[in-house]
Structure 1
C-alpha cells in the first residue's frame, strides 16, 4: 500500500479450493483445479498448502522472534521489494486512468506493466522463494530477511547465522548462465568478472562486498561470508557453482547444502542474530 500500512494476514489471504489450475508462487508446483491452496489477495497469486508454513506473512527470524511477537528482528523475505512493486503499479495505473478518463479501467486491463515496475515483482518473488528455503533450516540456523542498511535506502536480502559464522546473501532472479571470466594474471593484473547470460554483472559483486564489510563491523571476529544466489539461472547439471573475490556464486539448493554442512565454529547463533537484528532493522 502506498501509505506504508498493511492489511491483516486474514484479510490478505484466503484458504480455498481452486476453480482453475494454477502454480504455487513459491515452489512453482502445479496445482490442479479443486486443489486446496492459499490465495494471496495482495499479489493475486496462489501458493500450495505445503508452502503455507513458510509464507511471507509467517516468515520470522526464528530465535529472536520466538520470545516475542513485538521483537525488532521481525521481517519478511522480499517485503520491501514487493511494497515498491505495489507502489509503482498503483502509480502506473493512476497515470493510465487519468490519461484515458472513462476508458481508464479498460486501458489498465489491456496495458502491459512497465518493465521497470515488473522487475520489482520479479525481485520480490526471488527473495520470497529463497527465504522459504532458508527458513526451513531452522532452528539450527537463524535467518534475517530484508534488512535495512541504516542511513541508506539499500537493504540486505538475507542474513543467515550458523554456528560457523554469518552469511550475507543477495538473491537474484536472473535468466542466463552465471559464469566467471578471468583476465590477466601473468603480465597484466588479474581481474575477475561475473557474467550472467553474456551480460557483465560484476557490480552485483561490489554490492555484496559492501554489505559483507558492514556486517563485519557489527560482529567483529565472527567469520562473515558473502553469497550471490541466482534463483532461476541456467545452471549446468554438473558443477556450476564458483567463487569470485571470496564471494560464493550458486543456486538455492546448493546454498542450503553448504550452510548445513559447515563445521561447528562455536558461534552463539542466538546472540549474533539478535545483534544483527538490532543493527540492521527490517526494511
Structure 2
C-alpha cells in the first residue's frame, strides 16, 4: 500500500508518506517491504499474516474537463437569457447566431487539452499523466502534470489552429539580448512567463517529500499550430512543442523507475487534486 502519512517499521526504518509498505494484520503494524519479504517464521503457527496491498487508484483527472464545463455553463446561460428575452423566436436566434468567441474559446481549449491527454495515454505505462489539477489558494488550474522516466513535466496546452509559432531574437551588441515567443506574428512571451507560477505550485507540492529534488520542466504544447521544421522551440527554461514532440519529451529515458513514478504521481495527485466536475 502507499502510506497516507509517515510511519515507522518495527526495524526502526522511517517510512515517508506516499512510500509503499506492507501491513501485518495480526500485529496491526506497518512493515517496510524488506522486513515483509524477509519475515521467515519458525512454524506455521508463528507466521505473521502480512498483506502487501495495492495502492489506492490515482485520480488522474479529466483532460480539458473544467474548460468544457465552463463552455457548457456559458453556453447554457446565454441560451436561457435569449429564450427568456425572446420567448417566440429565441430558438431561431440561437440557431442563426453562434456563441461569442469568448465562449467558444473554452470549447476549443477543452478539445486541445483532450487531444494532448490522448497523446499521453498512447505512451502507456512509461508515463503517468495527471490532468486538470487544482492549485491551493487559486482559482487557476494546471492542464497536465506528467511524471516520466526523466522527471516531472508541467504542460500548458494552447490551441491556435494554423497559427505560426516562432522564436524571435533581438538585441545584442548595443542593446539587451531578448527572446520573444511569437504566435501569429504577435508577441506572446507572456505565455512563457505564466509557466513560472505553475512550476512553483508543483515545486511546493513536492517540497519536504522524498521527491523534492526530482527535475521539473515547463512545456508549452501547441495543438494545431505550425512550429519550425525541427518541431521545437526552447525559450529560457520553457520547451515549446506540438503534441507529438511533447509526447517524445516526457517519455525520454531517465533514472525514475515505474515504482518511483507511481509514488510521485500519488503524492502530487493528493496535493494538487483534480478539478471536480459539476454533477447533473
2:64 maps to 1:78 = yes
- Structure 1 position 68, deviation (Å): 4.5
Q: Which residue of 1 aligns with 2:113?
A: 127
Kindly indicate whether the alpha-carbon contact (under 8 Å) linking 1:164 and 1:266 is maintained by their aligned counterparts in 2.
no
- Structure 1 position 233, deviation (Å): 0.3
DSSP-derived class of the 1:101 partner: coil
> Residues 135 and 240 (structure 1 numbering): CA distance in 2 closer, same or farther, change over 3 Å?
closer
How many residues end up aligned between the 2 structures? Answer: 215
Q: Which residue of 2 aligns with 1:239?
A: 230
Q: Which residue of 1 aligns with 2:240?
A: 249
Alpha-carbon RMSD across the aligned residues, in angstroms, is 1.8
Of 143, 147, 151, the match for 1:157: 143
Q: Which residue of 1 aligns with 2:89?
A: 103
Kindly indicate whether the alpha-carbon contact (under 8 Å) linking 1:144 and 1:160 is maintained by their aligned counterparts in 2.
yes
Of 183, 188, 201, the match for 2:175: 188
Kindly indicate whether the alpha-carbon contact (under 8 Å) linking 2:150 and 2:252 is maintained by their aligned counterparts in 1.
no
- Structure 1 position 178, deviation (Å): 0.9
TM (normalized to structure 1)? Answer: 0.72
Aligned ranges for residues 1-283 of structure 1 at < 5 Å? 68=56, 71=58, 73-175=59-161, 176-219=163-206, 220-236=212-228, 238-265=229-256, 268-283=260-275
- Structure 1 position 235, deviation (Å): 2.9
Kindly indicate whether the alpha-carbon contact (under 8 Å) linking 1:75 and 1:145 is maintained by their aligned counterparts in 2.
yes
TM (normalized to structure 2)? Answer: 0.72
- Structure 1 position 258, deviation (Å): 2.0
- Structure 1 position 169, deviation (Å): 0.3
User: Which one has a bigger Cα radius of gyration?
Assistant: 2
- Structure 1 position 76, deviation (Å): 0.3
1:76 and 1:195 map into 2 onto residues whose CA distance is 30
Runs of 4+ aligned residues of structure 1 deviating over 3 Å after TM superposition are: 66-69
1:209 and 1:138 map into 2 onto residues whose CA distance is 28
- Structure 1 position 94, deviation (Å): 1.2
1:278 and 1:264 map into 2 onto residues whose CA distance is 23
